[in-house]
């Protein structure tokens, strides 16, 4: 890869995306993708990836590239404008004493920014607390969802028994543990309730699988929990729609795209009420109170989570309509792309277009 090949076009907008495959385009929807990389796929569909001819370089804080700093330095030297999409940061509650080392690459990345897009107000607050962003213009733009792909009309009928989805990846043991304990508490009132768990477990994987099998036996839940593994974006609507609602157990999640995808399908969300998730869900679900602490993870009583699930399930039609409407009104892919194009052109300046 010849980084020196970067060239600015004489006119027009040309965007290059710093995905793991750079200088190749980001992955397509039919390929496995998760987290911050998904928005690169969406943007590249509408504002195609350009290399070597580009005047804007777009980077996402949660998407790494082995030569990231070299790419950024070359782009800056060649006069490209750099837009950084800032997700969450490391803090002691989940990263312990290692948080400063974990944030080092985030500090480096954001220092190049000519414009910063924060994925939630929580992302902005935590970045200002832990990685000292530069004095650059910024805006909060929530992650997008394709409301045509993620549509209630394209989904199968719901199962008879109350079914929850624990979506994304289960990289922290507590997320799965809280979900299992919530399901166990639910069985007092809904003995046939089920849980679908997607994604990968934490590392080491063999230890995670051993713990999970034992926990299922101890709680007598083996027949009530299904594991799906990873999935492509194109497969997500059918997978999600096998459940009535999304159970989101991550502590202080900055801005999860899967929450928006579930809402677009008309799925209400039961979640912890800290991080950026309350900004996304609003009245389309119920947030269960936890004390926010930067230094330790606080989790709610599983019974409180179960009670919230039962409240949402009892009013599921009302919550479902609110979820879909909120996704369409606030998080549509069309609005996301239009806002990005507006920012790109603003950063470049009218005289360059």
pLDDT, residue 46, reads 93
What whole-number distance in Å separates Cα of residue 267 and Cα of residue 196? 14
- Give 71's contacts (C-beta < 8 A, 6+ positions apart): 3, 18, 22, 57, 65
Confidence (pLDDT) at 29: 78
Give me the residue spans of the domains in the chain. Answer: 3-143+332-352, 152-330
Cα–Cα distance between 287 and 305 in angstroms, integer? 9
Distance CA 343, CA 140 (A): 12
pLDDT of residue 351: 43
Q: Which CATH number fits domain 152-330: 3.90.550.10, 3.40.50.2000, 3.40.50.620, 3.90.25.10?
A: 3.40.50.2000
What are the backbone angles phi and psi of residue 346, rounded to the nearest 5°? Answer: -65, -45
Burial class (CB in 10 A: 0-12, 13-18, 19+), 291: exposed
pLDDT at position 1, please?
54
Give the pLDDT score at 159: 87
Task: Starting at the earlier edge strand, list the strands of the sheet with 245-248.
Answer: 225-229, 194-198, 163-166, 245-248, 269-272, 285-288
Using the 8-state DSSP alphabet, how is residue 330 labeled? H
Token pair, residue 56, equals 């804007």
> What's the pLDDT at 156?
78
The CATH class, in words, for 3-143+332-352 is alpha beta
Strand partners, 246: 165, 269
Cα 226 to chain centroid, rounded: 22
36, 63 contact by CB (below 8 A)? yes
pLDDT of residue 36: 78
DSSP annotation of 114: S
CA distances from 231 to 33, 136, 264 (A): 8, 37, 18
The mean predicted confidence, pLDDT, of the chain is: 94
Alpha-carbon torsion 86, 88, 91, 97, what sign? negative
> Nearest 5 degrees, angle CA 40-CA 33-CA 176?
125
Contact 47/348 with Cβ under 8 angstroms? no
Predicted structure pTM score: 0.92
Give Cα 13 distance to the centre of its chain.
27
What are the Cα distances from residue 120, in Å, to 158, 246, 254, 284? 31, 20, 7, 17
Please determine whether the domains at 3-143+332-352 and 152-330 fall in the same fold group of CATH: yes
What single DSSP character describes residue 256? -
Q: Quick check: 120 and 306 in contact, CB under 8 A?
A: no
Which portions of the chain are predicted below pLDDT 50? 350-353
Q: Please give the structure tokens belonging to residue 164.
A: 């929850």
DSSP state of 25: P
What confidence score (pLDDT) does residue 158 get?
Answer: 87
């Amino acid at each position: 890869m010849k980084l020196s090949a970067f060239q600015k076009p004489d006119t027009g907008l040309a965007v290059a995306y710093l995905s793991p495959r750079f200088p190749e385009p980001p992955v397509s929807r039919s390929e496995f993708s998760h987290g911050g990389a998904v928005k690169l796929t969406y943007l590249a569909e509408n504002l195609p990836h350009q290399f070597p001819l580009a005047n804007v370089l777009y980077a996402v804080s949660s998407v790494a590239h082995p030569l990231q700093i070299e790419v950024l330095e070359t782009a800056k030297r060649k006069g490209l404008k750099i837009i950084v999409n800032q997700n969450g940061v490391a803090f002691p509650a989940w990263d312990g004493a290692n948080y400063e080392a974990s944030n080092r690459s985030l500090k480096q990345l954001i220092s190049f920014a000519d414009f910063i897009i924060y994925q939630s107000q929580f992302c902005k607050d935590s970045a200002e607390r832990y990685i000292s962003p530069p004095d650059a213009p910024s805006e909060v733009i929530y992650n997008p969802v394709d409301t045509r792909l993620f549509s209630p009309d394209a989904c199968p009928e719901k199962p008879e028994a109350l079914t929850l989805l624990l979506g994304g990846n289960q990289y922290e043991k507590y997320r799965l543990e809280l979900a299992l304990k919530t399901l166990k508490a639910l069985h007092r009132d809904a003995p046939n309730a089920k849980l679908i768990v997607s994604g990968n477990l934490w590392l080491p994987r063999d230890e995670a699988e051993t713990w999970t099998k034992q926990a299922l036996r101890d709680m007598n839940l083996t027949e009530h929990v299904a594991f799906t593994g990873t999935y492509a974006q194109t497969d997500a609507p059918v997978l999600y729609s096998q459940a009535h609602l999304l159970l989101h157990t991550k502590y202080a999640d900055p801005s999860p795209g899967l929450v928006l995808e579930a809402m677009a399908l008309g799925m209400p969300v039961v979640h912890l009420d800290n991080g950026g998730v309350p900004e996304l869900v609003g009245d389309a679900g119920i947030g269960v109170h936890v004390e926010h602490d930067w230094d330790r993870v606080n989790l709610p009583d599983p019974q409180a989570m179960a009670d919230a699930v039962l409240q949402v399930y009892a009013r599921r039609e009302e919550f479902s309509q609110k979820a879909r409407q909120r996704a369409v009104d606030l998080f549509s892919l069309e609005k996301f792309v239009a806002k990005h194009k507006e920012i790109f052109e603003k950063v470049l300046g009218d005289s360059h277009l």
